[in-house]
Amino acid sequence: MELVSASMGEVIGAAPRLDTVMMVEDFIEEHSGEFNIGELFRGLPKKMLWRTFKIIIAYLEGQNKIVVNKDGSVTWVWNPEAVARYLKSEDLAVNL
């Protein structure tokens, strides 16, 4: 399956396999804040193409699981337990 840029209509690469995405997620969560993008790529337990890695990083950013800090370090921010507690809060106000 090819991924296509919505704004430009160009093919940007093939969709990564789920096990590859999960490997990158696990590695980033384990090493949150320790490495920049390049160091993460070089430190992965399994090698992959740079393009595939960038697709995964873009996906994780889009899902609000990671943030890339100003210094270039990558931090894992996804916390499903905190989100569940927040959504159950009576103080939650939704502005539409």
Which sign does the torsion angle of CA 34, 43, 21, 55 carry?
positive
Per-residue pLDDT at 59: 95
Domain ranges of the chain: 2-88
For 2-88, CATH number?
1.10.10
pLDDT digits over 55-91, tens only? 999 999 999 999 999 998 999 999 888 777 777 777 7
- Please indicate, yes or no, whether the overall pTM of this predicted structure exceeds 0.85: no
DSSP 65: S
Nearest to 12 by CA among 24, 21, 2, 27: 2
Local confidence band at 8 (pLDDT 50, 70, 90 cut-offs) = low
C-alpha to C-alpha distance for 93 and 65, rounded to whole angstroms: 23
Query: Where in the chain does DSSP place strands (E)?
Result: 2-4, 11-14, 66-68, 74-76
pLDDT at 3: 56
pLDDT digits (tens, 9 = 90+) for 18-69: 999 999 999 999 999 999 999 999 999 999 999 999 999 999 999 999 999 9
